[in-house]
Amino acid sequence: MKTIDSIVVVGGGTAGWLTAGRLAVEQRQRRPDRPVRVTLVESPNIPIVGVGEGTWPTMRATLKRLGISETDFIRECDATFKQGAKFAKWSENRDNDFYYHPLMIPQGFPTIDLATHWLSNERSDSFSNAVCFQEQLCENSIAPKLISTPEYSSVANYAYHLDAGKFAQYLQKHCTELLGVTHVLADVETVLNDDDGDIRALVTAQAGQVEGDLFVDCSGFSALLIAKHYDVPFNDCSSVLQIDRALASHVAYPEPDSPIPCHTISTGQSAGWIWDIGLRHRRGVGYVYSSDYISDDQAERELRNYIGEHEIINQPRRIDIKSGHREYFWHRNCVAVGLSAGFLEPLEASAIVLVELSANMIAEQLPATRSAMTIVAKRFNTTFQYRWQRIVDFLKLHYLLSKRDEPFWRSMSDPNSVSESLAEQLELWRYQVPCNHDFESSNEVFPAASYQYVLYGMGFDIDRQNHRLSMLSSAHAEQEYQRNAQITQQALSKLPSHRELINKIHDYGMQAI
């Protein structure tokens, strides 16, 4: 019946500080008279990886829960708005080959499903453009809100692009000064166990012993507790997702007032793809690739060819990637969050959202006693084993439908590298459009609408002779298309440019909630 009174988070960065802050807020609300102590132990000698700069719309709720002003966050973290992802040259290696995965569901979905009608009538416009006004906002670098729109509210759904290093520093300051998180700068040398096998304390070089009842491993790729101490097995996904390296760089805008893209741009290359993310003063540009199909030197040449004559602020930095995740994530009184739990690739910004989802579940389900922790750990493992597998399937879907003819793309689209669960879904979707009933859990990370955007953006082949026909009348469907077109024109005429809004936020701030 030992009570949980102290939590130790090992490692800083985005994962560590988001988790520490979320735990601190939840416990102060739940036990205001005797909150659980939250301590973050961070090495002063290990730099933050700090590559991932894309988030999900869930980050808005996370920041709001932490009591963070959206204006302050945008100012301090060089943040901009993200309204989706543009995939260029993924289906075929052509300049006009692209599709969008916006952050808004299709017009009328799920009550009205326009996908079947769009397929039946073979419309000339893209699926995302026909059913969602967000593609045009992205194509024209239009912001998702007005300066008068209150913080965290929106006209169009949005997430953020941010400077990961500045974000970690900002979270550290907020958590230590306002949320009561104790910050210990020290290197962990030894992990001490109780007789029952639980972790009792960390022995650090600079701060002695740090004791706790629950330990959260946010130590990054080193996985100090979950792997090095407990030796929890790693599920290698490299046979499914073959990306194993990244080259990351910062690139200057040609002019100070250059348009800021309000979406992540993902452009297919010979052996992978290049991300391009616009912040206020620079772009984050990097190439993720498979070393089985391209040398590091050739990958850097492809990256520099993409960047062209734009100034490279820092030389490309190489990062090794091992695609996969832990076989389970919560073992005894230790739970892994962030890179220590696993990493796949930065496609669709799944890394940070998994941190958010993990931190939320730990905070909301935090057991009162050690005996209850075993039950919570079992549920946590079941939930996140499912989520990781579903993300693997969704990322694989992007590659599987490609018609590119380079060896890397042929290998990634090999049907033999597809999981049974994804193969079954694809067989089903030859005859009907993805809907929420196709998924067996409420823990889905990507909704059915996301699958529609990818499938029909990539030109998924359906069985037109036997495909389930649209239940919508042509008149009703046309009304929805027209409604989307009207919303598009209204948004384009009333919303400011992305850079204009970001500049106004820095000058004047947004209306606080």
**Digits of tens for pLDDT over the chain (513 positions)?**
799 999 999 999 999 999 999 999 998 888 888 889 999 999 998 776 655 589 999 999 999 999 999 999 999 999 999 999 999 999 999 989 999 999 999 998 888 889 988 988 777 789 999 999 999 999 999 999 999 999 999 999 999 999 999 999 999 999 999 999 999 999 999 999 999 999 999 999 999 999 999 999 999 999 999 999 999 999 999 999 999 999 999 999 999 999 999 999 999 999 999 999 999 999 999 999 999 999 999 999 999 999 999 999 988 999 999 999 999 999 999 999 999 999 999 999 999 999 999 999 999 999 999 999 999 999 999 999 999 999 999 999 999 999 999 999 999 999 999 999 999 999 999 999 999 889 888 788 999 999 999 999 999 999 888 887 666 677 888 899 999 999 999 999 999 999 999 999 999 999 886
Q: Find residue 53's DSSP bridge partners.
A: none
Are the C-beta atoms of 276 and 285 separated by less than 8 Å?
yes
Question: How far apart (Å, rounded) are the C-alpha atoms in residues 278 and 264?
Answer: 8
* φ/ψ (deg, to 5) at 164: -60, -40
SS3 398: helix
What's the topology of domain 6-53+163-237+323-389? FAD/NAD(P)-binding domain (3.50.50)
Q: What angle do CA 326, 101, 509 make, to 5 degrees?
A: 95
SS3 289: strand
Question: How far apart (Å, rounded) are the C-alpha atoms in residues 487 and 476?
Answer: 17
Question: How far apart (Å, rounded) are the C-alpha atoms in residues 104 and 433?
Answer: 18
* φ/ψ (deg, to 5) at 227: -105, -55
How does strand 84-88 pair with strand 264-269? parallel
Neighbours of 466 (CB within 10 A): 10
